[in-house]
């Protein structure tokens, strides 16, 4: 060996052994972690066996009969109780219904119905759906589904739906009493996928303002929204009211897809971050279908999650105005994990943050009960009825694109506050207006007059129909003297009577023109919509946004 080779050997040999030592240490640490994890897994198995043993002992020895499935569910509920209120266990028998709402459809026959006077009456038929193809019309009565009688006392909507739904392309035999002939007929109907629409209404609020009402964010929401927006633009909409009141949220990507149509230039829409999940940014694309027109987002205390993502991004970028009341305050992201028995666990894995960096999740440090009582607290402190000076839960200031100060920690606070309008209604009046008896009278009036209703469109109905007084007279005639006196007492002002008549007209409009008809009537008396229109159509819009 040459001298140079000997020198290189002296240099590299210690380095080689050092490298081997380091690799050995790393492998040792990894092996330690692996063994610890195995011990943890063993502990989990032991604890699970212990739970099984306890439940089996209860089943065999307990003094009373007990449902062991409920014991499992209660055990899981207890396990989750220290966590946030949105981490939940969904039993197998409830999961399909929950998923249907978010998937945007289910397999059924395509009818809407009401239980009126212990009779199941079809109130609406899905256009081109299975029932429509089979010749069923509004007003027909469902007598039997298969061999099961569904008329009479004790029948429930859940029971009827469970009978009508089933596998796609399967056949269900439904015995109907037809409204036109009065005869009973057994009708075979082939079930198919029935959409659950998340866009309740898309109408023109005035000659340049489109109105879209979204009730949830499901797998089909963006497509429904895009279709509605395209149609409204054809009708002349250059500005938009997006109504997210009473919208509990849903899929994140449905919300970001809608925002992508409203916000430009690859701007940040929302980001998520968790203890075990790295930050994920969601950004707008290069171009959207409505990036320039004025926008008003309507929110209230029931607007949550994906609704707040939209409101937060629109507010942070000063893209539009937020009108209504402070939102729910849910800024947590859940992932759903399926269980072997068909149940599922929705586990919170991250928080989402608006573009300015604020979290809008309100505190749940005082427990789930206190968290759920937030609505009552807001009512008691006057926030819902006129007090707009409630201090923010988080005093840390964040800044919009135009340097307006906004806060996190408890929902999105609107730019324009609109309290409940208590001048038009009282609790007794609402109880009567939305009672089953009132619905029965309105439905009967519709059936008796449906062949004489010759309204060309919703606008024609809204302008021409004057039959509210006839409906009220029919309803009053059915009331016992004491209840009649209570109703008439509620009509203490022309405004309260007008509100009652408007509810009747809106329900009739729904039977004639579905939800677009209902909202066309309701919007005329909606103080939040009217406030939004006032802002959109005046200089106040630019003043609020600091333009």
**Active-site residues: which are they?**
305, 316, 330
- Our CA angle for 400, 402, 404, nearest 5°, is 55
Which residues neighbour 539 within 8 Å (Cβ) at sequence distance 6 or greater?
none
- Decide if 212 contacts 153 (C-beta within 8 A): no
CB 211 within 8 A of CB 205: yes
DSSP for 507-546, please give it.
Answer: HHHHHHHHHHHHHHHHGGG-HHHHHHHHHHTSTHHHHHHT
Q: Which two tokens stand for residue 149?
A: 């009688």
Q: How is residue 205 written in tokens?
A: 């609020």
Residue in this structure with the two tokens 């038929």, named with its chain if needed: 125
Contact 474, 532 (CB under 8 A): no
For residue 103, how far is the Cα from the chain centroid? 12
Torsion sign over Cα 469, 470, 472, 473: positive
**Cα–Cα distance, 408 to 311 (Å, whole number):** 13
Three-class SS of residue 125? Answer: strand
Burial grade of 194 (CB within 10 A; 0-12, 13-18, 19 or more): buried
């Amino acid at each position: 060996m040459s001298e140079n080779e000997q020198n290189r050997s002296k240099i590299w040999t210690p380095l080689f052994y050092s490298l081997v030592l380091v690799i050995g240490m790393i492998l040792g640490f990894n092996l330690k972690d692996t063994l610890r994890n195995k011990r943890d897994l063993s502990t989990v198995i032991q604890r699970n066996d212990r739970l099984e043993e306890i439940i089996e002992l209860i089943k065999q020895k307990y003094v009373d009969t007990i449902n062991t499935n409920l014991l499992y569910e209660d055990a899981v509920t207890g396990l989750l109780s220290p966590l946030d209120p949105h981490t939940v266990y969904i039993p197998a028998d409830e999961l399909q219904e929950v998923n249907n709402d978010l998937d945007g459809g289910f397999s059924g026959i395509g009818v809407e119905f009401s239980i009126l006077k212990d009779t199941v009456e079809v109130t609406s038929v899905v256009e081109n759906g299975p029932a429509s193809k089979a010749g069923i019309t509004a007003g027909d009565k469902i007598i039997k589904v298969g061999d099961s009688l569904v008329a009479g006392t004790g029948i429930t909507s859940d029971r009827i739906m469970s009978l009508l739904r089933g596998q796609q392309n399967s056949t269900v035999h439904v015995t109907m009493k037809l409204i036109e002939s009065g005869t009973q007929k057994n009708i075979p109907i082939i079930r198919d996928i029935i959409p659950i629409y998340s866009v309740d209404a898309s109408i023109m609020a005035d000659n340049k303002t489109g109105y879209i009402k979204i009730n949830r964010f499901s797998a089909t929401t963006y497509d429904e929204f895009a279709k509605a927006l395209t149609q409204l633009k054809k009708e002349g909409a250059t500005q938009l009211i997006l109504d997210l009141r009473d919208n509990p949220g849903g899929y994140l990507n449905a919300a970001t897809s809608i925002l992508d149509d409203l916000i430009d230039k690859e701007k940040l829409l929302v980001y998520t971050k968790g203890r075990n999940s790295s930050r994920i940014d969601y950004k707008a694309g290069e171009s959207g279908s409505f990036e320039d027109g004025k926008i008003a987002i309507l929110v209230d205390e029931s607007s949550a999650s994906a609704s707040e993502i939209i409101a937060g991004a629109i507010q942070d970028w000063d893209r539009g105005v937020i009108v209504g009341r402070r939102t729910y305050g849910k800024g947590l992201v859940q992932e759903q994990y399926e269980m072997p028995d068909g149940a599922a666990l929705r586990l919170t894995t991250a928080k989402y943050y608006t573009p300015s960096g604020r979290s809008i999740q309100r505190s749940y440090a005082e427990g789930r009960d206190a968290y759920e009582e937030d609505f009552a607290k807001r009512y008691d402190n006057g926030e819902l009825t006129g007090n707009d000076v409630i201090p923010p839960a988080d005093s840390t200031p964040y800044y919009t694109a135009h340097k307006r100060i906004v806060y996190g920690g408890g929902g999105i606070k609107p730019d324009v506050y609109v309290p409940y309008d208590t001048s038009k209604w009282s609790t007794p009046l609402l109880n009567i207006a939305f009672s089953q008896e009132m619905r029965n009278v309105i439905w009967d009036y519709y059936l008796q007059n449906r062949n004489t209703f010759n309204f060309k469109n919703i606008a024609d109905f809204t302008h021409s129909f004057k039959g509210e007084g006839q409906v009220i007279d029919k309803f009053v005639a059915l009331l016992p003297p004491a209840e009649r006196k209570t109703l008439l007492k509620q009509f203490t002002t022309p405004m309260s009577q007008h509100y009652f008549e408007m509810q009747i007209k809106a329900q009739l409009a729904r039977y004639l023109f579905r939800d677009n008809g209902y909202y066309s009537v309701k919007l005329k008396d909606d103080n939040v919509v009217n406030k939004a229109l006032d802002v959109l159509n005046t200089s106040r819009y630019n003043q609020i946004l600091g333009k």
